[in-house]
């Protein structure tokens, strides 16, 4: 049996998996509040002891960069060392993966119930696949075919320079440059970026701020869920939030198309992360597809690429299980 984990600043999800049941059917799984534990080793020990299980190998997707099988977790005072974790928990083999890299390992194993085809395209077997995932930040990763299976390749594509396509986006870039020395795609296409889009539309006078919404945002520890919920559930009362979601969708589509061109992902482009599944009507809209395919002379190339929205609730845990099971 193997242990897989999805380690975030808020929650730590752990599951025990077997080759017989596969990477999406855990024998047992638990979710723990990360902040209540001094380190991952304490969570893992509590989980293993509670369920009286012996684990031969473990893989963990963690929210943070990996170097030499070590990681400092974003938004959590944990430093994880795979070798030390192995010694502390008695698990012979422990591997740390970036959370986006972990998600990528799940991509080839997602069935039709876990994804929605946004553009059917012409999928080509053995060709690269790509994943773009706006959550708190913007993750980008791609997969290449090697020795009979797909191999995940990490990147920091979310931190590349934001390239505006429209007059409105050019104004957005000029607005954000007053605050940031470097305006990346993550600044405009992620959970941390959505308040930037809102502030731009409000401060430039393009949309007035409803008083009730302004009050809610002033009191919210995280403005992004408030903006997204207002745009989805009360669009008539909050046109500024609708405009935010439209701008976000257009930028996401364009950057997904950029990634598709860079890695020639004729195997499929996958849209994941925490935000897109909450707004599927925008991801499947012509606004997203136009931005994705607006690539000038190479438009025919991206038009043929399949695009899928990931609906699976915990791709990072499933991907970590795929890695530990060597799928």
> 285-325 pLDDT, tens per residue?
999 999 999 999 999 999 999 999 999 988 999 999 999 99
* Residue 75 scores a pLDDT above 80: no
Straight-line distance from the first to the last Cα atom of the chain, in angstroms, rounded to the nearest whole number: 14
Residues 6+ apart with CB under 8 A from 20: none
Distance CA 178, CA 196 (A): 12
> Three-state SS across 164-185?
CCCHHHHHHHHHHHCCCCCCEH
Residues 6+ apart with CB under 8 A from 87: none
Q: Which two tokens stand for residue 2?
A: 């193997």
Rounded to whole angstroms, the Cα distance separating 44 from 3 reads 9
CA distance 279 to 75: 25
Q: Is the dihedral of CA 87, 88, 89, 93 positive or negative?
A: negative
Q: What is the pTM of this model?
A: 0.91
Instruction: Sketch out the chain's domains with CATH numbers.
Output: 2-98+315-324 (3.30.420.40), 115-311 (3.40.367.20)
- Which residue's entry shows tokens 């007053």? 178
- Residue 9 in this model has a pLDDT that exceeds 90: no
4-13, 251-260, 261-270: segment of lowest average pLDDT: 4-13
**For the purposes of burial, counting CB atoms within 10 Å of the CB of 114, is it exposed (0-12), middle (13-18) or buried (19 or more)?**
middle
Quick check: 74 pLDDT over 80? Answer: no
Phi-psi label, residue 132: left if phi above 0, alpha if psi -120 to 50, beta otherwise? beta
* Antiparallel, parallel or unpaired: β 115-119 and 307-310: antiparallel
Give the Cα separation of 175 and 197 in Å (integer).
10
As beta bridge partners, residue 133 has 139
């Amino acid at each position: 049996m193997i242990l897989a984990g999805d380690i975030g600043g808020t929650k730590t999800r752990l599951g025990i998996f077997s080759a017989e049941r596969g990477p999406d059917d855990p024998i047992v799984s638990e979710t723990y509040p990360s902040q209540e534990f001094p380190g991952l080793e304490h969570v893992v020990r509590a989980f293993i002891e509670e369920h009286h299980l012996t684990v031969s190998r473990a893989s963990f997707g963690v929210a943070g960069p990996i170097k030499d099988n070590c990681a400092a977790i974003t938004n959590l005072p944990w430093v994880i060392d795979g070798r030390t974790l192995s010694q502390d928990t008695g698990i012979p083999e422990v591997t740390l993966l970036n959370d986006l890299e972990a998600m990528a390992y799940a991509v080839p194993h997602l069935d039709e119930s876990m994804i929605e085809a946004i553009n059917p395209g012409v999928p080509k077997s053995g060709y690269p696949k790509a994943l773009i995932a706006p959550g708190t930040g913007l993750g980008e990763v791609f997969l290449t075919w090697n020795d009979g299976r797909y191999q995940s390749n990490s990147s920091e594509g979310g931190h590349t320079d934001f390239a505006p396509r429209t007059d409105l986006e050019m104004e957005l870039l000029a607005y954000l440059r007053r605050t940031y020395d470097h305006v990346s795609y993550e600044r405009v296409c992620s959970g941390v970026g959505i308040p930037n889009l809102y502030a731009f539309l409000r401060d430039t006078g393009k949309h007035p701020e409803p008083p009730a919404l302004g009050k809610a945002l002033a009191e919210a520890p995280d403005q992004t869920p408030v903006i997204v919920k207002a745009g989805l559930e009360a669009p008539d009362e909050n046109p500024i939030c609708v405009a935010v979601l439209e701008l976000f969708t257009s930028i996401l589509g364009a950057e997904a198309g950029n990634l598709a061109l860079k890695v020639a992902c004729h195997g499929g482009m996958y849209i994941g992360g925490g935000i897109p599944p909450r707004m599927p009507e925008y991801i499947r809209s012509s606004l997203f597809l136009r931005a994705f395919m607006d690539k000038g002379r190479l438009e025919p190339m991206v038009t043929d690429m399949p695009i899928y929205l990931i609906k699976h609730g915990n791709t990072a845990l499933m991907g970590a299980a795929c890695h530990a099971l060597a799928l």
